[in-house]
Amino acid sequence: MQPPFKIYNTLTRKKEVFKPINPPLVGMYVCGPTVYNYVHLGNVRTFTGFDILYRYLLHLGYKVRYVRNITDVGHLVDDADDGEDKIGKKAKLDNLEPMEVVQKYTNDFHDVMNILNNKAPSIEPSATGHMIEQIKMIEDLLEKGFAYETNGSVYFDVRKYSESHEYGKLSGRNIDELLSGQRELDGQDEKRENIDFALWKKATKGHIMRWPSPWSDGFPGWHLECSVMGQKYLGKTFDIHGGGMDLKFPHHECEVAQGTACNDVEPVNYWMHANMLTVNGQKMSKSLNNSILPNELFSGNNPLLDQAYSPMTLRFAFMQAHYRSTMDISNEALKAASKGYRKMINGLRLVKGLSYSEDSAIEKDAKLNKQILSIIDSVYRGMNDDLNTAVAIAGLFNLLKKINGIHLGQIKIPALEKEVFDKMVNTYISFVEDVLGFIEEKPQNLESAIEIVLQDYKEAKEAKDYDKVDLIRGQLKVMGISVKDMKDRIEWAYDEQ
């Protein structure tokens, strides 16, 4: 018997049994990247973490609509009134159209997601593609009295909202402290309160990214897009909203406020936050100059790394830690992950080659059967306990001991009950491949492998061992490789049939 699937809900600060609104449908929204630069390993960790959630929900049989946005406008460099848009700034810097910037880094993001075998979301909406919906939501908020206009910009009225609702409940802030604190910043005169946040900003002269609206030529505030797109594709209240821990405040707090103010319902049932990736104990972040890019990791081309590490090594390293714990990246951790990953994949290759057999001469081993079932249980217990992939992996390694035992003949397959055997095989394969999302990284040096075979071919030919010669040639042909005996050497080419 396994416990039900529980997830930690930031809103209640508790692990809660996951109950979707309309089972078997599940709606999940994850804040995607702002595409003004290459994603770094910390960004990637979060998305990989939520990939596991997506995969596990699918594994449990849910029909999941996974929405992960691309932020391509509205994310300001800082919070001052004349704050520059991140995309716009980069566009100026690189002398590109903003949409070229967006496309470039969106492509990079997709490449990285693919190479890490993260599943694509069901919908990947962009902020600029939902301008009309955003303007509509601002109008609704104005109409309901939760927003006000100043000089062509529109702000969310936090004080007003907090009179009837609890602003700060997600991130654990105290509204009075927020209101009383830090009034001294300059350039905030358009806002009634410092903690009010922009729904629409009037574009300043040099601002390239602008759209017409009832208030001004301008652009939407960052927090708005997620509310709008979440609501559009998942409903006014949906099941799960995820993102990095650093988005909890103010971004997600603002989302809660906007959604609640607009629709008078709780926008999200379960808020989930992935913790930060650290380097030497400090958060990986561009401003600290300690970020590592995926391509740098895969090539080893970064001063913090003393070798290259493969995509699956990174994935394995992520999976060995819980998503809500900070995780420190280091050469030692990555090297250990690399070996662990290979061990796991070697197991996968073995287990795929196993098949059940009966033998009346061999007695069933009741203790062993029970033990295997209990290990399988531990894998599910781990995942059901707020996606504890580290526990699940530990279980898989325990299972692997049995699988290796079978492989070496120390455990006789007929000693297992058929259903135990099947369950063991299915659990191992489905968790490694489907739930944790590992793929086999095959050696790239196919050509040198062919050269080795051809050397054998050459020797057989010199020894006039034509049976062997024909055998090798035939086997290579099956692989799509044709051997060509030249006058003075042997070559190979892709078989053209």
Partner RNA sequence: GGUCGCGUGGCCGAGCGGCUAGGCAGAGGUCUGCAAAACCUUUUACAGCGGUUCGAAUCCGCUCGCGACCUCCA
| Residue 174 binds RNA, judged by CB under 7 A | yes
Shortest CA distance to 34 belongs to which of 63, 7, 68? 68
- x/- letters, 418..457, toward RNA (CB under 7 A): ----------------------------------------
Hey, which residues between 286 and 305 contact RNA (CB under 7 A)?
286-287
Whether the CB-CB separation of 236 and 268 falls below 8 Å is answered with no
Alpha carbon distance, N-terminus to C-terminus of the chain? 55
Shortest CA distance to 258 belongs to which of 160, 332, 328? 160
| Residue 284 binds RNA, judged by CB under 7 A | yes
CA–CA distance, 491 with 7 (Å, rounded to integer): 58
Give the residue, chosen from 19, 63, 183, 339, that forms a contact with RNA under the rule CB under 7 A.
Answer: 339
Give the residue, chosen from 314, 321, 416, 436, that forms a contact with RNA under the rule CB under 7 A.
Answer: 321
Shortest CA distance to 392 belongs to which of 405, 381, 407? 381
Strands 147-150 and 153-156: antiparallel
Q: Which C-beta is closer to RNA: that of 410 or that of 497?
A: 410
Give the residue, chosen from 9, 34, 69, 118, that forms a contact with RNA under the rule CB under 7 A.
Answer: 34
Q: Which C-beta is closer to RNA: that of 142 or that of 277?
A: 277
CA–CA distance, 186 with 459 (Å, rounded to integer): 82
| Residue 182 binds RNA, judged by CB under 7 A | yes
Q: Which residue has the tokens 């009295």?
A: 145
| Residue 241 binds RNA, judged by CB under 7 A | no
Which one of the spans 70-78, 89-97, 125-133, 301-309 is the region binding RNA (CB under 7 A)? 70-78
Q: Which C-beta is closer to RNA: that of 119 or that of 283?
A: 283
Run of H or E residues at 447: helix 446-462
Hey, which residues between 354 and 393 contact RNA (CB under 7 A)?
382, 385-386, 388, 390-391, 393
Strands 197-202 and 218-220: antiparallel
Which one of the spans 115-123, 301-309, 321-329, 426-434 is the region binding RNA (CB under 7 A)? 321-329
Which one of the spans 57-65, 122-130, 146-154, 166-174 is the region binding RNA (CB under 7 A)? 166-174
CA–CA distance, 403 with 394 (Å, rounded to integer): 14
CA–CA distance, 457 with 451 (Å, rounded to integer): 9
Q: Which C-beta is closer to RNA: that of 140 or that of 193?
A: 193
Q: Give min distance, CB of 411 to RNA, in A.
A: 9
Whether the CB-CB separation of 276 and 246 falls below 8 Å is answered with yes
| Residue 126 binds RNA, judged by CB under 7 A | no
